[in-house]
Structure 1
Amino acid sequence: MTSIRRLIAIAITPALFMATSCGRHSTSEVFYLIAANLSLPYWKTAETGFNAAAARYRVTGKVAGPDNYDPQAELQELNHAVAAKPAGILISVADEGLLKPGIDAAIAAGIPVITIDSDAPSSRRLFFIGTNNLDAGHLGGERIAERLGGRGNVVFYSMPGQPNLDERLQGYKDIFATHPDIKIIDVVNIKGDARNAFDNTQQYLAQTGVARVSAFICLEASSGKVVADAVRRQKITDRVVVAMDVDQDTLAEIKDGTIEATISQKPFTMGYVGLKQLDEIFHNMPKSLSKDYSVDAFAEYPVFIDTGTALVDKANVDVYARSAADHQ
């Protein structure tokens, strides 16, 4: 009888282990992805990664935020998410000063928060997943300096105050500091509307002489296509356009030659890895969420997970185009 009991126990144990493992996750576990400008292809890709991870882990993923650039609306969605007491929150920070209190409130309520794409390092978020934006600016700056021969006027398109864009701008400035004949004429605030980039490009293309702009640099995804369109309409072929991200329109403009290059990010990976990390934290909660793990040499968590950047131009654009087509 003892031998029979042992055999039964051996048979039952793997089945019990499998049942316990499968029971770790539940659709009642809800994770949020919150961002602004959700209508952009960039965020559609991040959402796809987030939902793919939710499906794999058999949990519920919810995406919330305004379709346009509206930090106040993003804050409202963050507050709604915190009130719902989810298992975790991923958030891309459009305005650090505005969103920091909401992030800190989530942590105080016992809700793990990880920032992706755009960070809020002054908040109590656990860590950041995304692009090394300073390096992204360095990549773009080196290409601009090379194409201009170290001399010329440049204009940026950005949304000042958004942390990731400000870091990219600083990366460009770092490179230009070693090329004093490259002058930054303007940092245009597009205010979340790419049409502002189009209008300003048309105006700058009309300037000649010492005011002539040699390069247009887009620090966010939506401006590249419209800046290229403005350049093409005036049939100008001697200006350099550097874009951000690898949506299909931008890749097409690189093939056409209107855009010199773009800086690739990995929003799918940000969404996927972000939910995966939140799930791990939720099921293995630390003693304290509010601890500053960045100054703990024995911390369970990193300060930053770099999802990678690359410069895309005519030499490798087809590789990125095929990858995008494979994931449509």
Structure 2
Amino acid sequence: MKTMNTISTAIRSKRARLAIAIGAAFTLATFASCGSRDEGEGARADRDGSGQQREYVIGLVTKSSSNKVFIPTGKGARDAARALEQEHGIRIRIDDQSPPREDAQQQADRIRQLAASADGVMISVSSASILRNPINEVVQQQGKPVITFDSDAPDSARFAYLGTDNYEAGLQLGKEMAEVLGGRGRVAILTGNPNAVNLQARVRGVQDALAEHPDITIVRVQDNPSEDSREAVQRMEQVHSAESVDGWAMVGGWALYISNALDGVPAETKIVSLDAAPSQLPYVEAGRVQVLLGQNSYQWGYDCVTMLIDYLHNDERPAPGDEIINSPLIRVTRENLSEYRMQLEQWGWTAD
């Protein structure tokens, strides 16, 4: 078994020509176009004459197939599969088993099922407490590697986590909120599933950032367990009926995934939000949302598949201490809206 000095170094050194350059310029990536296996084809892995495995199935389980932020994740996973097929002369199939709505128990059932058919699994964890044992079963009893992304199960046997540093994301969101409010006002925080570790960390980050401003008060932390867009809007309107709110810090973009979401929110209310889906951009364009912090969810899919194939095909593991890989946020405002739209097109995310 080989270890990598750092995951990011290993990925960049081996596939620098395929890496995604994300920054203020929003560099656009181009990928190999060779075909992967038909998504519906259901065979098991083949081996060549030397015993080297030549075919792999990677199980993908996002929080839900209806969560828009994971659209680029699937695209990234499939693009990585095509590029790695060409690089290694192997075949890779991505088996997406995401539940239709967020449900940690369904995720647990699906990764147990994938343990029988997939060679490795990548999962965005809805509940660390519910998913810890199923992940351990897949790894320790079935011998299949698991990598988490977006939301972690840190006490499980997963071999790595790749995604946003969720506390830092919340901290950045809170700083953006304080800036657009001019350091003064009453703030409500909109979150989703209260059991999701990533969202808990984001809320803490927002709270800590706003605690630095004595003239800002947090009046409510409003959850939205289903993470349904219309329910999120209803909960926001309920808060406005009970509280005076000058600003919303949204640790996920659920409420902004539908049109007319802010009709019940006073026009002077300042809004900053994590995520930057196509449906959220018109709110920025119209001046109703001041800042979006987009997650590089395409890279989650691309790098998770890369790391799983490194694990399975190249016998490479993260070095101790390098199991957590953070990806930066993309700050979206009116000023860089057109460049960001171009990036989303490259990710295959043109509509919700």
Give your verdict on TM over 0.5: yes
CA distance in 1 between partners of 2:130 and 2:143 (Å): 20
Post-superposition Cα deviations, 1:243-279, rounded to whole Å, max 9, x if no partner, equal: 2212111112111111111111111111011000000
Residue of structure 1 in register with 2:30 after alignment = none
What is the Cα deviation at residue 186 of structure 1?
1.8
Q: Which residue of 2 aligns with 1:141?
A: 174
2-structure distance, mates of 1:277, 1:301: 16
- 2:182 and 2:287 mapped to 1: Cα distance? 19
Equivalent of residue 204 in structure 2, options 170, 173, 197: 170
1:151 to 168, 179, 184: 184
Per-residue CA distance 1:266-303 (angstroms, 9 max, x = gap): 111110110000001112447xx9xxx7xxxxx26722
Q: Is the 8 A contact 1:90 1:274 kept in 2?
A: yes
Pairing 1:11-22 to 2, within 5 Å after superposition: none
Q: More helix by proportion, 1 or 2?
A: 1
Q: How far apart in 2 are the matches of 1:250 and 1:24?
A: 46
Counterpart selection for 2:163 from 112, 119, 130: 130
Q: Distance in 1 between matches of 2:264 and 2:122?
A: 42
Within-5 A mapping of 1:1-328:
26=54, 28-58=55-85, 59-84=92-117, 86-108=118-140, 109-158=142-191, 159-192=193-226, 193-207=228-242, 211-225=243-257, 229-231=260-262, 233-234=263-264, 236-285=266-315, 299=319, 302-328=322-348
Task: State the Cα distance separating 1:88 from its structure 2 match.
Answer: 1.1
Residue deviations 1:164-215, cap 9 Å, x none?
11111111112112113322222222122222221122233345xxx41111
Bigger shift: 260-269 or 32-41? Answer: 32-41
Per the TM alignment, residue 150 of structure 1 is displaced from its structure 2 partner at its CA by: 2.0
Identify unmatched segments of 5+ residues in structure 1: 1-19, 294-298
Q: TM-score, normalised by structure 2?
A: 0.77
Q: 1:230 to 1:54 in 2, by over 3 A?
A: closer
Can you list the C-alpha shifts for 1:13-39, whole angstroms capped at 9, x where unaligned?
xxxxxxx9xx9663x311111122212
**Secondary structure at the residue paired with 2:147?**
strand
TM-score (norm. length: structure 1) = 0.82
In 2, Cα distance between equivalents of 1:81 and 1:128: 19
Which amino acid in 1 is paired with 2:72? T
Check 1:300–1:279 CA distance in 2 against 1; reply closer, same or farther (3 A cut): farther
Q: Cα–Cα, structure 1 residues 314 and 25, in superposed 2: closer, same or farther, change >3 Å?
A: farther
Q: Which residue of 1 aligns with 2:5?
A: none
Cα pair 1:216 1:240 within 8 Å, conserved: yes
> Is the partner of 1:316 in helix, strand or coil?
helix
Q: Is the 8 A contact 2:232 2:254 kept in 1?
A: no
Partners of 2:346 and 2:136 in 1: how far apart?
39
CA shift in 2, pair 1:234/1:157, >3 Å? closer
Separation (CA, whole Å) in 2 of partners of 1:230 and 1:278: 39
Counterpart residue number, 2:7: none
Q: Which amino acid aligns with 1:50?
A: A
Provide the C-alpha distance between the structure 2 equivalents of 1:230 and 1:264, rounded to a whole number of angstroms. 19
Return closer, same or farther for 1:230/1:55 CA change in 2, 3 Å cut-off.
closer
Matching residue's letter, 2:247: A
- Residue 276 of structure 2: SS of its match in structure 1? coil
Runs of 4+ in 1 over 4 A off after TM superposition: none
Write out per-residue CA displacement over residues 64-89 of structure 1, whole angstroms, 9 at most, x where no aligned residue.
Answer: 121211111111111111233x2211
Identity %: 27
Q: CA-to-partner distance for each residue in 1:95-129, whole Å, 9 max, x for gaps?
A: 00000001111110221111111111111111111
Paired with 1:53 and 1:301, the residues of 2 have a C-alpha distance of 25
CA distance in 1, matches of 2:123, 2:170: 22
Aligned partners of 2:265, 2:216: CA distance in 1, in Å?
A: 24
Larger deviation: 31-40 or 116-125? 31-40
